[in-house]
Amino acid sequence: MSNQEAGSQLYVAILAGGVGTRLWPGSRSGRPKQFSDLTGSGSSLIQATVDRLDGVASPEQIVIVTGAQYGSLISQQLPFLAESQMILEPSGRNTAPAVGLAALYARRRNPNAILASLHSDHVIADTPAFQNALCCAAAVAKDGYIVTLGILPTSAHTGFGYIERGKALAMAPNDCTLPVYTVNRFLEKPSQEVAEEFFLGGAHYWNAGIFVARADRFLAEYKRQQPALYAALEAIDALEDRDLSGEVRRTSFVDAWHEVPSISIDHGIMERAADVAVIPLDAGWNDVGSWDALDEVLPATQRGNLVVRGKLIDLDSSNNIVSSDRALVALIGVHDMVVVDTGDAVLIGRKEEMQRVREIVDRLAEEGFSNLL
């Protein structure tokens, strides 16, 4: 299937409802990670996610699923999207409802639509490799599979779920140059020991939450496995059939949303879905889960330090990550640290402890610094 053919029926859902707590103070409740230019590229992560689809899916075939409070950020950062291309959830209900709404959205527009669900806050360095895998997945999905892109592990990481591949599928379309496997099972975050086995074994991929299937295929799984969720989502979709004012439509959405359970697509759908396939993705994927991940995404720029943005003056300082929106940063004898200055907050911490940023955010909430969250 060529890109153009894929473009004719491939819809892409971009999930943008996360809050990115561990990327504080760059990520805020009012402007989470995906709307920030964390990598200093000049684009926010969600803008880069949309740009990465250029040639695979036209802007009209994109739908953003996010929290209602982020509607104006979407309009600012992706002004070429129509308002109808945003699904604004009244509150966060994890990923299964978000993908389900996007599947209903796509099916309503094209009964044969294929839907790819992506996250808005990941970095993928090699766009051609990603597009190749996505087109391959769409071709396999056309034949009825739910396809996931499995990230080729680059380390024995314990912070991700894993996908265990099964046998190779013979039916890979002709123009798909990547191998396609059945999926044996989805696995929770492993112990270090198990992660090392996975890494050496070569039959496991990181689960990046990228799923591609026919919209009606997704929805059949929802109906079978999560009938209550399916019914609630269908009720929301059915609002489209009625001639409602914007205000009434929104109120009805909020009312119906109360019936929607919070559940992830991994647990709620994928773990017990039929006919799941995996295509390996080797494209410099990174979920930028915490500040120290920037070392994997970007090269050092100044004597062993990574200056994401801003100006650094350093004396005897190495292996630091520095991002400053406003102030010049001067370091003397500082090593292996992350320094993030957003003007109203400065975070300084050891790289290996960057998971603990979450605790800082908790403390700020406890102490009433809501303006800094």
Q: Residue 169, interface with a second copy (CB under 8 A)?
A: no
Q: Name the minimum Å distance from CB 40 to a second copy.
A: 17
CA–CA distance, 130 with 178 (Å, rounded to integer):
11
Query: How is residue 59 written in tokens?
Result: 């802007």
Choice between 235 and 360, CB closer to a second copy:
360
CA-derived radius of gyration, the chain: 21
Alpha carbon distances (Å) from 162 to 117, 133, 187, 208, 312? 18, 18, 5, 9, 39
- Stretch 16-55 residues interacting with a second copy (CB under 8 A): 25
Residue 232 to residues 236, 238, 258, 289, Cα–Cα distance (Å): 6, 10, 9, 31
* H or E element that contains 8: helix 3-9
User: Is 152 an interacting residue with respect to a second copy (CB under 8 A)?
Assistant: no
Specify the residue, 39 or 324, whose C-beta has the smaller distance to a second copy: 324
Q: At closest approach, how far in Å is the CB of 276 from a second copy?
A: 39
- Tell me the number of residues near a second copy by CB under 8 A: 39
Q: Does 372 bind a second copy (CB under 8 A)?
A: yes
User: What's the CA gap between 365 and 368, in Å, rounded?
Assistant: 5
The answer to whether the beta carbons of residues 205 and 280 sit under 8 Å apart is yes
Q: 269 — alpha (psi -120 to 50), left (phi > 0) or beta?
A: alpha
Q: What is the C-alpha to C-alpha distance for residues 22 and 307, in angstroms, rounded to an integer?
A: 19
> Among residues 81, 86, 283, 354, which is the contact residue for a second copy, using CB under 8 A?
354
The span from the CA of 141 to the CA of 83, in Å, is: 28
| 168 Cβ contact list (under 8 Å, min separation 6) | 179, 180, 181
CB-nearer residue toward a second copy: 68 or 364: 364
List the end-to-end C-alpha distance of the chain, in Å, as a whole number.
45
Q: What does the alpha-carbon distance between residue 300 and residue 345 come to, in Å, rounded to a whole number? A: 24
By the rule CB under 8 A, 123 interacts with a second copy: no
| Contact pick of 108, 185, 303, 350 for a second copy (by CB under 8 A) | 350
Give the SS3 label for residue 369: coil
- Report strand pairing: 285-286 vs 123-124: antiparallel
CB-nearer residue toward a second copy: 195 or 337: 337
Closest distance of CB 336 from a second copy, Å: 10
User: Which uninterrupted H or E stretch holds 38?
Assistant: none
Interactions with a second copy, residue window 204-233 (CB under 8 A): none
Task: Quote the tokens at residue 304.
Answer: 């062993």
Smaller CB separation from a second copy, 188 or 316:
316
Which CB atom, from 25 or from 268, has the smaller least distance to a second copy? 25
- The pair of three-digit structure tokens given for residue 140, joined into one six-digit string: 């396999």
Of the two residues 141 and 354, which places its CB atom closer to a second copy in the complex? 354
Which residue from 13, 343, 370, 373 is in contact with a second copy, where contact means CB under 8 A? Answer: 343
Interface stretch with a second copy, choices 62-70, 145-153, 250-258, 342-350 (CB under 8 A): 342-350
The only residue of 246, 315, 368, 370 in contact with a second copy, by rule CB under 8 A: 315
Per CB under 8 A, 266 contacts a second copy: no
189 in Cβ contact with 205 (< 8 Å)? no
Pick from 353, 368, 370, 373 the residue near a second copy by CB under 8 A: 353
Q: Pattern 271-310, binding to a second copy, x per CB under 8 A?
A: ----------------------------------------
Out of 170, 246, 326, 370, the residue judged to bind a second copy by CB under 8 A: 326
* Contact predicate 150/163, CB 8 Å: yes
Q: Pick the piece of the chain touching a second copy (CB under 8 A) from 82-90, 138-146, 162-170, 337-345.
A: 337-345
Nearer to a second copy by Cβ, of 129 and 345: the residue is: 345
Is there binding between residue 332 and a second copy (CB under 8 A)?
yes
Residues interacting with a second copy, by CB under 8 A? 25, 311, 313, 315-316, 324, 326-334, 337, 339, 341-350, 352-354, 356-357, 359-360, 363-364, 367, 369, 372
